[in-house]
Amino acid sequence: MTDPVSRTILLLDIEKYSARDDVEQAYLRRMLYDIADRALESAGIDETLRLRADRGDSVMELIDASAPVTALLRTLLTSVPDQLRSVNRMASRSAQIRLRGVVSTGWVAVDKHDGWVGSDLNHACRLLDADVLRDALRERTGDFALCVSDSVYAGVVRHDHVSIPKEQFHEVTVDSKNGPLTAWLHGPVPTGAAERRHGGNAREEKGAPSVFGNAPVIGGGTVNGDQNNITGNHIGGDFTIGGSAGRRGEGS
């Protein structure tokens, strides 16, 4: 395995790829490669500065740390949406291509089988698969949704460079088996993510009964079993009340 080196990580993934037949998938892969190549060339990142891995419905690029991330972000925010609009204007419904994208940074090594190794790369992949990014693309009329890692936001986006408006990026939390990851979504936070952030499984619509799937805990004495209060709200499991400090039970 090579020594880990600092890289910019670019991930692009096709929405609903597995729902297409073989002919459509082959077409979408060609379009994905064309879009990725044009975007990187437009950002001044030629083939000598990048290493590519094919993941079927997605493409992964390790980009030399000397290549400016600002140029890459500008291209992703402008050129890629334009390319997608152009391609989809001429494509049938079954050949429409919509993409999720992630830009991150970190340390990555390459093993003897040309596999890529590194926790920073793992984190980037988790951002690509995150519900908040999937929901964002699903809810938008456009064909591209972009998320950047906390390191990219701190190092580049928050400084409000030309054509990279920081006010268009919104902080989101992505759950992972190693704990929550902070990321920054370009564009509006999707409805589903906002609901999860404000109460997990609890339904918060005005007038609707609230449902707690686990046992909330607030301090001292205990009420066991399922409970229904006078407003029709249902509380499943044990509910503990007492003391001045409170917390919701695990799993909420």
**Every domain of the chain and the residues it spans:** 5-197, 206-252
The Cα-based distances of 117 to 1, 2, 129, 176, 220 in angstroms read: 9, 10, 18, 18, 47
pLDDT at 218: 40
Type of residue numbered 19: A
Q: What is the pLDDT along the chain (252 residues), one digit of tens a residue?
A: 788 999 999 999 999 998 889 999 999 999 999 999 999 999 999 999 999 988 878 999 999 999 999 999 999 999 999 999 999 998 888 889 999 999 999 999 988 877 888 999 999 999 999 999 999 999 999 999 999 999 999 999 999 999 999 999 999 999 887 789 999 999 999 986 655 555 544 333 434 443 334 444 444 444 445 544 434 444 455 444 444 444 444 444
8 Å CB contact between 132 and 172: yes
Q: Which amino acid, one-letter code, is at 129?
A: D
Amino acid identity, position 76: L
| CATH code for the structural domain at 5-197 | 3.30.70.1230
pTM reported for the whole predicted model: 0.76
Amino acid letter, 218: I
Which of 21, 13, 23 has the alpha carbon at shortest distance from 55?
13
CB–CB of 99/80 below 8 Å? yes
- What pLDDT, on a 0 to 100 scale, did the predictor assign at position 209? 40
Name residue 152's beta-bridge partners: none
**pLDDT at residue number 207:** 40
Q: What pLDDT does residue 93 have?
A: 86
The CA distance from 18 to 28, in Å, is 11
